[in-house]
Amino acid sequence: MSGIPARPALPDPEHISATGRHGMISTSHPAATRAGLAALRRGGSAVDAYLAAAAVQTVVEPTMTTLAGTMFISVFDPADGRSRFLGHLGTIPAAEDGDLDEAARLSGRTVVAPGWPGAAHAAWSRWGRLPWADLFGDAQVAAREGFVADELLWGWAFEFRRAAGRFEAGRDIWFPGGRLFRMGEVLRQPALARTIEQLAEQGPGYIYEGEFARRYVETARGAGGRITLDDMAASAVTEGDLTPLPVAGGLELHTSGPLYALLLSLSELAGTDDLYTRMRIVEEAWHHGLADVSAGYRVREPADMAGAVSPETAERLLPRVLKGEPRPFEAMNLGTNAIVAVDGRGMIAHGTHSATSTPFGAGLTVDGVIVPRPMFLCADPVVPIPDGWSTSLLALRDGRPVYAAASPSISALQNVFQNSANVLQHGMSPGESVLRPMFGASLYPSRRPMVEATIGEDVIAEVERRGIGVTRVSPWEVEMGSCQAVAIDEDGTLHGVADPRRLGSAAGH
């Protein structure tokens, strides 16, 4: 059989945990991890490794990420001990008011300007060491020569098969011979390979102002969309410094998600890791973050939230956690990938890149690239996201980085919180932590958070007795997220971990 091998069907201990001295990367797909590790071995930075891996994921995990999707990456630079964030969530067309009825949600009106290429190039321009074109070689091979479809990809494709094959361009990829691809089948994407090749050779200008941009706009407008070439050219990256956030117990966080500081301070002050308390911590932090939010948009920049998530605020909220009534909340579906990479110089890159959409969006495909249906414009339902919500963090102790973690999925906040508390506050190794049963977000329209049933019936029953309604789910539930993390010892040894829920891989050298 040709093509890049599939993920293992079962968790591989050699993939879950890894150690290294000169570099480490953790992703949700072994092929992406290999690409990132190869970049590190060639002398690339943590950002080079992140981008090389992310490019492969646009090929082998297309229901999670796409070149037309988003990217948000945070980078710790050891030269000055500071972190910056950089991202692009896509740009809504100037003529689009977002008032979409049911028909419009399956039309070209769901199309926004891509974020991935612009953010990737901006990150590389600032922190890259390898040539831009070198970051895309593995992705081109994966698209041109193919990869073996695994059960995770097939499962998502089956669930969203009605969108994947709505139009001829999608059917050419996902319905070979007129039927949905099978698990174990080699999927080749020559059109996507050509697009990646042009992006590598011409840079992001090809996507925003070149031939791809023209076809992208024509495809969207042919399906009723309102995007223009001016919208594509005006698309811009957001970046800024991350304000260090203190955590009770002496940690400092560098994160675009300030709620993590509040979560970990509450955990430290509560002094327990029992399921009920952890679930109440998330509830109170979530509602605290919702206080100033409407329509699902962040209203405060991370730097403005320092007081709202301080240890002093946690002390005021702690009585509500321990003695207050449960307060459920809604969550929403996203498709996302997470990566953490550390290079031999101590640079750390962590974040997520995403379709920010249900898989295959409205079914539109341009030059092999899936066009997503962004949640912030047209996902159904739109659920408010709290101020300070994000998908990754870096923890420092006494000014030294000790742990970086990121996660995708609707349960990203719960996943990163639980694993970070396990490692930073309860002394677990990252590998031990990801093997523990977890709780996660609710599945809309339910307001009952998921709990992996393997956490124990007695434990779950006690949570329910105390007033939190839960949804029992099977073990290794992918909507629990997928912790990609690296812990750093005092002597510089790197301990990578890849959550078995998405059968990923951590690797170092």
Q: Which residues of 83-107 are buried (b: 16+ CB within 10 A; e: fewer)?
A: bbbbbbbbbbbeebeeebeeebbbb
Tell me: do 354 and 437 sit in the same domain.
Answer: no
Radius of gyration of the chain (CA): 21
Q: Among the listed ranges 68-77, 194-203, 292-301, 480-489, which one has the minimum average pLDDT value?
A: 292-301
Residue 426 lies in a domain: no
Q: How confident is the model at residue 86 (pLDDT cuts 50, 70, 90)?
A: very high
Kindly state the average pLDDT of the residues 143-161: 95
Cα atoms in the 13 Å half-sphere on the side-chain side of 267: 27
Task: Judge whether 409 and 415 are in contact, CB under 8 Å.
Answer: yes
d(CA 498, CA 478): 13
If 0-12 CB within 10 Å is exposed, 13-18 middle and 19+ buried, where does residue 279 land?
buried
**DSSP H stretches of helix in 46-115:** 46-60
Tokens matching residue 447? 């307001």
List strands edge to edge, sheet with 24-27.
238-241, 82-88, 70-77, 348-354, 336-342, 24-27, 505-508
DSSP letter (8 states) at residue 461 = H
With the CA atoms of 97, 102, 108 and 112 taken in that order, what torsion angle do they form, in degrees rounded to the nearest 10? Answer: 50
Tell me: do 184 and 318 sit in the same domain.
Answer: no
Give the tens place of pLDDT for each residue, 343-357.
Answer: 999 999 999 999 888
Tell me: do 160 and 259 sit in the same domain.
Answer: no
- Closest among 98, 168, 173 to 374, alpha carbons compared: 98
Task: Judge whether 290 and 388 are in contact, CB under 8 Å.
Answer: no
Task: Judge whether 21 and 46 are in contact, CB under 8 Å.
Answer: no
Q: How confident is the model at residue 8 (pLDDT cuts 50, 70, 90)?
A: confident
| Cβ-based neighbour number of residue 137 at 10 Å | 18
| C-alpha angle 59-219-237 in degrees, rounded to nearest 5 | 60
pTM score over 0.75: yes
Residue 142 lies in a domain: yes
- Closest among 32, 18, 43, 45 to 346, alpha carbons compared: 45
- Closest among 289, 293, 299, 301 to 238, alpha carbons compared: 301
Determine how β-strand 505-508 pairs with β-strand 24-27.
antiparallel
Beta bridge partners of 187: 147
Tell me: do 269 and 188 sit in the same domain.
Answer: no
Task: Judge whether 32 and 16 are in contact, CB under 8 Å.
Answer: no
Residue 97 lies in a domain: yes
Residue 65 lies in a domain: yes
Number of structural domains found in the chain = 2
Phi-psi region of 479 (alpha: psi -120 to 50; beta: other; left: phi over 0): alpha
Which CA distances in Å does 342 have to 26, 38, 75, 264, 394?
9, 13, 10, 23, 11
Tell me: do 363 and 389 sit in the same domain.
Answer: no
d(CA 105, CA 281): 35
Q: How confident is the model at residue 100 (pLDDT cuts 50, 70, 90)?
A: confident
| C-alpha angle 137-138-141 in degrees, rounded to nearest 5 | 90
H or E element in which residue 234 lies:
helix 229-234
Task: Judge whether 492 and 472 are in contact, CB under 8 Å.
Answer: no
Give the tens place of pLDDT for each residue, 422-474.
Answer: 999 999 999 999 999 999 999 888 899 999 999 999 999 999 999 999 999 99
Give the tens place of pLDDT for each residue, 32-79.
Answer: 999 999 999 999 999 999 999 999 999 999 999 999 999 999 999 999
Residue 2 lies in a domain: no
Task: Judge whether 192 and 202 are in contact, CB under 8 Å.
Answer: no
Which residue range is the domain that position 410 belongs to? 240-334+385-420+433-504
Tell me: do 286 and 228 sit in the same domain.
Answer: no
Determine how β-strand 186-187 pairs with β-strand 147-148.
antiparallel
- pLDDT, residue 331, reads 78
Kindly state the average pLDDT of the residues 495-502: 97
Task: Judge whether 30 and 508 are in contact, CB under 8 Å.
Answer: no
| Cβ-based neighbour number of residue 336 at 10 Å | 26
Task: Judge whether 402 and 408 are in contact, CB under 8 Å.
Answer: no
Tell me: do 410 and 309 sit in the same domain.
Answer: yes
Residue 425 lies in a domain: no
Tell me: do 107 and 183 sit in the same domain.
Answer: yes
Sign of CA dihedral 465, 466, 470, 474: negative
Tell me: do 19 and 123 sit in the same domain.
Answer: yes
Tokens matching residue 82? 């500071």
Q: How confident is the model at residue 299 (pLDDT cuts 50, 70, 90)?
A: very low
Name the amino acid, one letter, at 390: S
Give the tens place of pLDDT for each residue, 376-410.
Answer: 655 555 677 888 999 999 999 999 999 999 999 89
Tell me: do 303 and 171 sit in the same domain.
Answer: no
Q: Among the listed ranges 115-124, 207-216, 297-306, 425-434, which one has the minimum average pLDDT value?
A: 297-306
Tell me: do 316 and 415 sit in the same domain.
Answer: yes
Residue 7 lies in a domain: no
How much is the mean pLDDT over the chain? 93
CA 22 and chain centroid, separation:
25
Residue 6 lies in a domain: no
- pLDDT, residue 298, reads 47
Task: Judge whether 288 and 317 are in contact, CB under 8 Å.
Answer: yes
Tell me: do 487 and 396 sit in the same domain.
Answer: yes
